[in-house]
Amino acid sequence: MLPWPLCIFLYPEAVLGELEGTMEFKQISDILDWSQAIHAELAERYQSLAGELTQQRAVLLLDYLADHQKQLETSVELLKEDISPGLLNTWTRTELADAFPSSLMELRNQLTTLSTEDILTLCIDYHDRLIKLYNELSQTADLDSSRELFENLADLEHHEKLITVRDAQWLEDY
């Protein structure tokens, strides 16, 4: 059986259908692994699409977004290395599957026909979904250290969203 983050990407109907609306208990390490998997998957899809498109600005934006997602994946990995094992093994309730609906699985089909503005809108939507998830996890955290971790992750995503918007606007002006 595939690890649960990959199942979401490869078999969205089966996984999302089973998990929709259900709460699960996950360790913080699982949530961070899931976050890394999301960023890795987005990076891979952006990069793959950049190789298929002919619109120069869309290709530049997708290449930028792929690099950006790889950096976020690395940031989460570094964060995991700095967190105490006790915090990583802390259990929390979450609805990870609901954070990214099946539209993520349709990313390839959507992005091949969208403008750079539409691509950026989808990218921002994914950042917003992660920010919302981290904020919800922060609000329901039982421990101060868990709350602080999720607040920091939400802040990181928010900061990266602002950088992405700024850089994408620069690309549009280019």
Say which residue, 38 or 110, is predicted with more confidence: 38
> Residues of 105-128 as b/e, b for ≥16 C-beta within 10 angstroms?
bebeeebeebebeebbebbeebbe
pLDDT(147) > 90: yes
Ramachandran sector of residue 41 (left: φ over 0; alpha: ψ -120 to 50; beta: rest): alpha
Band of residue 50 on the pLDDT scale cut at 50, 70, 90: confident
Band of residue 4 on the pLDDT scale cut at 50, 70, 90: very low
Say which residue, 84 or 98, is predicted with more confidence: 84
**Could you give phi then psi for residue 71, rounded to 5 degrees?**
-65, -40
Predicted TM-score of the model (pTM): 0.79
Smallest CA-to-CA distance from 163 within 120, 99, 100, 122 is with 120
pLDDT(16) > 60: no
Question: Domain 26-86+103-173 carries which CATH code?
Answer: 1.20.1260
- Residues shown for the chain: 174
